[in-house]
Amino acid sequence: MSHSPARSGRRADARQNAEKIVQAAVACLGRNAEASMNDIAREAGVGRVTLYGHFPSREALVEAALIRLLAQGNEVLKAVDLTGDPRDGLRALVESGWLLIAQAASVLQAAQTALPSGRVQELHAKPEQRVHDLIRRGQAERVFRVDIPADLLASVLHHILHGAATDVVAGRLDPTDAPRFVAEMALAVCAVPPATLGTD
């Protein structure tokens, strides 16, 4: 199929507008989780017709902003060396993951409100897979507990990290202490429990 130069020019403009809108959504929602479609259109320098032409609802646009941040985050996490002791790997992964989540906290909050329940966690499939693979290896090497399924350990790490991020947003947790505490708690959950645990 061949297209007229005018049509492919319009398509390039459309792509450029979509890109501007997603970047504006990341910026606006990053400053204010309740940013409106109008706020985002203004930031992107496009009209409402163009905005809604690309993203028919605020939900669709919040999702696009989150997908963008997750893709960028996945690139960062790819660079974390997970080849050594799984405990060191987990600490490094949690600390990097924590920074990404803290930077994305406001967009994540917008997504929790705007997207259907469970969708935010679904969109985390790639980083979750990375954590999951590391936990499985740690279990195989018997440095992580095997009495709780890897799926559940990975899910709990997700809840600990995201919960701590909401604690920072709410002013309940000092962001400078958070990475170390979060990594400690992640290790505590995954590590083989000491023989003295509990009294029964």
Closest CB to its own copies among 19 and 151? 151
Residues 65 to 124 in contact with its own copies, rule: CB under 8 A: 85, 87-88, 91, 109, 112-113, 117-118, 121
Q: Is residue 191 within the footprint of its own copies (CB under 8 A)? A: yes
**Minimum CB distance to its own copies smaller for 76 or for 173:** 173
- Residue 12 is encoded by which pair of tokens? 């390039």
Which long-range CB contacts under 8 A does 50-53 form with residues at least 24 apart? 50/17, 50/21, 51/21
Sign of CA dihedral 99, 100, 103, 108: negative
- C-alpha to C-alpha distances, 124 to 25, 69, 161, nearest whole angstrom: 19, 11, 13
Annotate each residue in 15-34 with x if it binds its own copies (CB under 8 A) or - if it does not, as one string: ------------------x-
Scan residues 149-168 and list those touching its own copies (CB under 8 A).
151-152, 155-156, 158-160, 162-164, 166-167
Q: Is 142 a residue that touches its own copies (CB under 8 A)?
A: no
* Rounded (10°) angle between helices 105-114 and 86-103: 80
Site for its own copies in 30-59 (CB under 8 A): 33
